[in-house]
Structures are given as C-alpha cells and as structure tokens.
C-alpha cells in the first residue's frame, strides 16, 4: 500500500511539473509574440491608422493653419521610418514609439492621441467611475467594452510590463487627472467668495458635491468667482450638476454647430451619442453666412448638426443668487472650455480672462482599435464651431472680459475680475 501511495505521489508531482512547464512555455511564446511585429504588419497597422484618421478626423485643416504642419508630410515621414527598418521583424516598442511620436506631432488637436498604458488604465477607471456615478450611457458602455477587449488588454498589459519609456499623452492643458485637493476656497472681503476647481474629473464628483453645495449655501448672497484657469477638463456632468443646476431658477440651454465627416470608423459610436443621418444636414452652403467660418474646415465634411447643453434647476429655488464670474485662460480645456462656452451663451456667468484652450461642447471622444497592434487611437470626430463659425478647437472660447494686453505672463485674471466687479458695482 505504501508503494502504491508513493507511486501515486510521484505521478501527481510529475503531472504538476509538466503542467507548469506547458504554462511557462505558453507564457513565453505569448510574450515573444507581443514583443515583435513584422515590418509588413507594422505597415499594415500604420496605414490602417491613417485611413481611420483621413475618413473620420476633421481637424487636419486646423493643424495646417495653427502649426504649419502638412498631414501628408507627417504621414509619409513616419511611414518611411518603418520602411527603412532593415530586418523582417522589429521590436514592438520601436513601432509603438514611431506611431506615438507621429500622432503627438499633431499636438493632440481634437484630443488626438495613442493611449499610453497609463492613460489606458485611467480611461478604463474613468468609464468605471461613470458606471458608479449612474452615468452608464450607451456610448460609455461601448468604450468600456472596447477597453476590456482581450487583444487590447493583452497589448497594454505587455506595454506596461515592457515599455522602455512612458511616453506621456496628457492633453495640452495639462490633463484631467484626479486631484486630492481639487477645491480651493477663499473669502475675498465681505461681498466676494472665490473657489478654484482644478479638475472636472468624474471621480471628483462624489467628493466635491457636498463641499460645493455647502459653500454655495454659506455664500448665497455674495458675488461668486469660479477659477478654472488650470482646469484640463473631465466631464460636463461635473459643472452641470455641481455648479449650474443648484444655482438656477429656470432651465438654461446652450446650442452649438458642429461639423463631422461621419466616417464609417466612428459612425457606431456617434450614433450611440445621438448623432445619425437624421440629425445631420448635408447642405453645407447653409453655413456660409457664418462670418468666422474657414471654408477649409468643410473639407471632408459630410454634414453638420447642432449639439445642445441643457441644465434644469436642481431645487425649487436657487441656492446662490450670484452673480457669477468664471476665470479662464489657455489651459482651460475640453469640458472646462465647454463650461466657459455654456456660461457665455446662457449668461450664467461673466467669463473673464483670455481665450480658453478650446475643444469643448462636443459629444464624447471616439476610440478606435488598430487592427494588428491592438493599440487604441483616440480623437474627437466632431468639430464644434463658435457662434461666429470659427473653430472652437483653434480659437477657444473668447471671454466677455479680456485684458488690454493679451498673452502677458504677469496678467492676473483674478485682478482683472476684481477690477471689473468694482467698476460695475
């Protein structure tokens, strides 16, 4: 009996050892498969990326004007870097660096970027935060499922473990990261209260809701200054729910025109966000009466539509009567710009400072998986226009009150606002 038991034990140990060897071999093969990409596949992936952009991305004319960059020159230059590889296979990290550098050349115009491992995880966490906040809209769920795609997860897990250097992909306004101290409050005399909001990240909503409500209630009869000069954005839900809704007595609406190629690669996502053939007008001649419209921006555009931001009162009576003043500058970006646009259009607040960084007021940013690499390409497929027809991405939102000399580093937007309040008291 003892001999049989020892034999069974040896057999079991052998099976466990064999299984371990098989799993280790599989893991090594998987890692090796992810570590390299053939030159042929790299070119296929790169060309697919550009095909997606050329059919769905509406900002090449803006990039040409603002940065004097030819998209064709960028495309061919980085493609040549791949073609010049002398071996049949290349290190995947080298390919990743080429495509990321290529996209970063275009200054993240319209949220354009290849997601880094860090940004991928933050975007995944953000979609989960939307779910936790009860903001689980169809577009959010669609992106969440893409982030959980097996090929995508495998690729970004590999990059996280093996990437040579983290190539940061923050937006030009400094990102939308979560801040531990997102709110800074000050009392500026007996009649004025001030708050700086560093981020509109969805993960800050839960922490900031009660703090802001109590602060508005405490300062219900004061003039309110809201500083978003360094706010890189996040979600419109933040400012709609925490700032506007508690402090209005009637619904406010802000409407903007947008242009879109409505390309095949982004149609599914746009439709989930309410953009479809029925909401688009293909008669672009109707836009020519807009004085600020640059006709080049109509290149590749299949239609235009309107996007509306509507906020209803949260309570029977506004918590704070105001008036409200909003401080902005070039680093107020994305949903922070969207808030500035809303304030200017609805007169909820007097906007003070210099032009924002723009790129607010549109629907959700689209995300597309590259077919071979599994990398994620992110960009906005809607080009929002300012009321005069000028590009919001290019010009930003123009404040109601601006300094006499723009662009000076020593300009105090708070000082400008206080002078304006004093002069209009």
Is there a single domain that holds both residue 86 and residue 211?
no
Q: How does DSSP assign 117-179, residue by residue? A: HHHHHHHHHHHHHHHHTT---HHHHHHHHHHT-HHHHHHHHHHHHH-SS------TT------
Last residue of a domain, one of 106, 126, 161: 161
Q: Can you tell me the mean pLDDT for 100-118?
A: 97
Confidence of residue 253 (pLDDT cuts 50, 70, 90): very high
Q: Is residue 391 in some structural domain?
A: no
> Degrees (nearest 5) of the Cα angle 116, 264, 105?
35
Q: Is residue 346 in some structural domain?
A: yes
Residue 382 has a CB neighbour count (10 Å cut-off) of 25
Is there a single domain that holds both residue 243 and residue 333?
yes
Identify the domain containing residue 413 by its residue range. Answer: 183-261+302-359+396-423
Q: Is residue 308 in some structural domain?
A: yes
Q: Are 63 and 17 in contact (CB under 8 A)?
A: no
In our burial notation (b when 16+ CB lie closer than 10 A, e otherwise), range 137-156 reads eebbebbbebbeeeebeebb
Structure tokens at 291: 């004085």
Is there a single domain that holds both residue 188 and residue 155?
no
Element (H, E) at 306: strand 303-311
Is there a single domain that holds both residue 73 and residue 134?
yes
Is there a single domain that holds both residue 141 and residue 202?
no
Picking from 381, 366, 265, 375, the residue whose alpha carbon sits closest to that of residue 45 is: 375
Q: Are 71 and 50 in contact (CB under 8 A)?
A: no
Confidence of residue 16 (pLDDT cuts 50, 70, 90): low
Is there a single domain that holds both residue 133 and residue 239?
no
Is there a single domain that holds both residue 217 and residue 319?
yes
Q: Is residue 193 in some structural domain?
A: yes
Peptide bond preceding 323 in cis form (omega within 30 of 0): yes
Q: Are 282 and 260 in contact (CB under 8 A)?
A: no
Q: Is residue 408 in some structural domain?
A: yes
Last residue of a domain, one of 97, 126, 161: 161
Residue 411 pLDDT greater than 90, yes or no? no
Residues 6+ apart with CB under 8 A from 237: 133, 135, 202, 205
What is the pTM for the complete model shown? Answer: 0.85
Q: Is residue 138 in some structural domain?
A: yes
pLDDT tens digits, one per residue of 352-409: 999 999 999 887 899 999 999 999 999 999 999 999 999 999 999 999 999 987 766 6
Residues 6+ apart with CB under 8 A from 73: none
Q: Can you tell me the mean pLDDT for 11-15?
A: 60
Q: Are 233 and 171 in contact (CB under 8 A)?
A: yes
Beta strands in 26-128 (DSSP E): 36-38, 89-91, 113-114
Distance (Å, rounded) from C-alpha 28 to C-alpha 416? 62
Q: Residues of the chain with pLDDT > 70: what percent?
A: 86
CATH code at 222? 3.90.226.10
Q: Is residue 384 in some structural domain?
A: no
Picking from 143, 328, 129, 308, the residue whose alpha carbon sits closest to that of residue 235 is: 129
Q: How does DSSP assign 244-291, residue by residue? A: IGGG-SS-EEEEEEEEE---HHHHHHHHHTT--GGG-B--GGGGTT-T
Beta bridge partners, 324, equal 224
Residue 39 pLDDT greater than 60, yes or no? yes
Is there a single domain that holds both residue 105 and residue 48?
yes
Is there a single domain that holds both residue 89 and residue 233?
no
Longest dimension (CA), the chain: 101
Residues 6+ apart with CB under 8 A from 345: 254, 255, 256, 387
Q: Is residue 417 in some structural domain?
A: yes
Residue 42 pLDDT greater than 90, yes or no? yes
Is there a single domain that holds both residue 107 and residue 256?
no
Alpha carbon of residue 18 to chain centroid: 48
> Which is more confident, 168 or 228?
228
Number of domains in the chain: 2
Is there a single domain that holds both residue 306 and residue 343?
yes
Is there a single domain that holds both residue 193 and residue 51?
no
Confidence of residue 173 (pLDDT cuts 50, 70, 90): very low
Distance (Å, rounded) from C-alpha 147 to C-alpha 124? 6
As a whole number of Å, the CA-based R_g of the chain is: 25
What are phi and psi for residue 383, nearest 5 degrees?
-105, 100
Residue 358 has a CB neighbour count (10 Å cut-off) of 28
**3-class DSSP state of 299:** coil
Distance (Å, rounded) from C-alpha 267 to C-alpha 36? 32
CATH code at 92? 1.20.920
Confidence of residue 168 (pLDDT cuts 50, 70, 90): very low
Q: Can you tell me the mean pLDDT for 40-64?
A: 98
In order of 10, 184, 277, the CA distances from 138 in angstroms are 55, 34, 18
pLDDT tens digits, one per residue of 141-158: 899 999 999 999 999 999
Confidence of residue 31 (pLDDT cuts 50, 70, 90): low
Residue with tokens 């509507």: 310
Residue with tokens 């073609």: 83
């Amino acid at each position: 009996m003892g001999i049989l038991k020892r034999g069974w034990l040896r057999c079991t140990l052998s099976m466990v050892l064999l299984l371990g060897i098989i799993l280790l071999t599989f893991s090594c093969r998987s890692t090796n498969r992810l570590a390299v990409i053939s030159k042929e596949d790299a070119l296929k992936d790169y060309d697919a990326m550009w095909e997606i952009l050329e059919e769905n991305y509406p900002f090449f004319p803006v990039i040409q004007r603002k940065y004097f960059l030819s998209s064709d020159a960028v495309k061919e230059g980085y493609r040549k870097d791949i073609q010049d590889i002398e071996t049949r296979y290349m290190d995947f990290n080298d390919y990743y660096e080429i495509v990321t550098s290529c996209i970063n050349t275009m200054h993240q115009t319209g949220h354009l970027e290849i997601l880094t491992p860090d940004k991928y995880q933050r975007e995944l966490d953000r979609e989960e935060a939307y779910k936790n906040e009860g903001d689980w809209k169809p577009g959010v769920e669609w992106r969440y499922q893409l982030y959980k795609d097996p090929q995508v997860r495998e690729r970004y897990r590999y990059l996280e473990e093996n990437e040579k250097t983290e190539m940061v992909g923050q937006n030009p306004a400094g990102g939308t990261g979560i801040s531990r101290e997102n709110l800074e409050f000050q009392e500026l005399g007996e009649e004025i209260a001030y708050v700086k909001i560093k981020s509109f990240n969805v993960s800050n909503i839960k922490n900031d809701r009660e703090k802001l409500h109590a602060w508005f209630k405490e300062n219900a009869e004061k003039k309110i200054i809201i500083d978003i000069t360094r706010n890189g954005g996040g979600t419109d839900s933040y400012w709609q729910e925490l700032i506007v809704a508690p402090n209005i007595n009637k619904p406010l609406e802000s409407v903007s025109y947008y242009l879109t190629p409505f390309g095949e690669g982004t149609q599914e996502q746009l439709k989930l966000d309410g953009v479809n053939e029925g909401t688009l007008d293909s008669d672009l001649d109707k836009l020519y009466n807009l004085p600020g419209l640059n006709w080049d921006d109509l290149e590749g555009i299949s239609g235009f539509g309107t996007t509306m931001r509507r906020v209803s009162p949260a309570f029977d009576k506004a918590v704070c009567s105001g008036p409200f003043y909003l401080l902005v500058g070039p680093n107020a970006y994305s949903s922070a710009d969207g808030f500035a646009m809303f304030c200017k259009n609805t007169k909820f607040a007097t906007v003070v400072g210099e032009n924002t960084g723009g790129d607010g007021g549109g629907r959700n940013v689209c995300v597309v998986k590259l077919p071979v690499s599994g990398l994620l390409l992110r960009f906005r497929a809607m080009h929002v226009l300012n009321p005069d027809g000028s590009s919001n991405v290019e010009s930003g939102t123009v404040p109601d009150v601006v300094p006499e000399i723009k662009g000076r580093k020593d300009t105090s937007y708070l000082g400008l606002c206080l002078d304006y309040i004093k002069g209009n008291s």
